[in-house]
Amino acid sequence: MSSNVNPAQFRLGKPLVVAIDGPSGSGKSSISREVARRLHAAYLDTGAMYRAVTLSCMEAGIDLTDSVAVEAAAENADIALSLSPDEEWVRVSGRDVTDAIREPVVSSSVSAVATTLGARAELVRRQQQLIRDSGLRIVAEGRDITTVVAPHAEVRILLTASEEARLRRRGIQLGGTQTAAALKEQVLVRDAKDSTVVDFQQAADGVVTIDSSDLDFEETVSAVLEVVFTSTH
């Protein structure tokens, strides 16, 4: 699929919040980042915030099954993250944790934080503030952006891909270092846990589904830009 959409067609000055949800490995982060670049918009990776709270809890020795302690950790966490699609960094209490939050040990524990409702409420509140602070020109991605964080976004997309495509992509992304079982744990098992508190497998009313299983990266970016264009014109 190709696109003749020219990002210059999206006028600056008007609010343009693009909300993108989807399961693990569907391409949300990488596609959203590239779409944000092309739209000259900010980029918000909400999963990085769940990961940062998880790392904080693990380093503080907090029991991730203790929902009161996890909620308190989310409320107290001093998280800063880049909203530029051209710069990737996440800091907790001023310390750079950009790489640490991507470690498999965090990936396999993060669902405990993501399923703690009090922690979600705190992070949703912060995400909504970050979207307002962006001047409402932002691509925000996660699991509940189209439904909870930004249900009134100008553009709402569910980015999906088959399990097979998602496992293959994540395997390549991790340099072939993971066993098939480890990949399933990090992608499918995590999705199953996260799905207990938020539905990111089915598009809510008004949300456009893009299935990228048979699209390459560039074709997927084009498909998202097409939806942005048709939703705003």
Ligand X SMILES: Nc1ncnc2c1ncn2[C@@H]1O[C@H](COP(=O)(O)OP(=O)(O)OP(=O)(O)O)[C@@H](O)[C@H]1O
Show binding-site residues for ATP.
22-30
Cβ proximity to ligand LCLUPRNS, 38 vs 170, nearer residue: 170
CB of 22 to ligand X, least distance (A): 6
CB of 134 to ligand X, least distance (A): 19
Q: Which does 116 bind (CB under 5 to 8 A by kind): ligand X, ligand LCLUPRNS, none?
A: none
Q: Are 90 and 82 in contact (CB under 8 A)?
A: yes
Q: Which does 212 bind (CB under 5 to 8 A by kind): ligand X, ligand LCLUPRNS, none?
A: ligand X
Query: 21: Cβ–Cβ under 8 A, 6 or more apart, which residues?
Result: 28, 141, 142, 143, 144, 145, 146, 147, 157, 158, 159, 200, 207
Q: Which residues bind ligand LCLUPRNS (CB under 6 A)?
A: 24, 46-47, 50-51, 110-111, 114, 142-145, 190, 194, 198
Produce one character per residue of 151-178: b if its CB has 16 or more CB atoms within 10 Å, e if not.
eebbbbbbbbbeeebbbebbbeeeeeeb
Cβ proximity to ligand LCLUPRNS, 145 vs 227, nearer residue: 145
65: tokens are 């099954």
CB of 139 to ligand LCLUPRNS, least distance (A): 13
Q: How far apart are CA 24 and CA 22, in angstroms?
A: 7
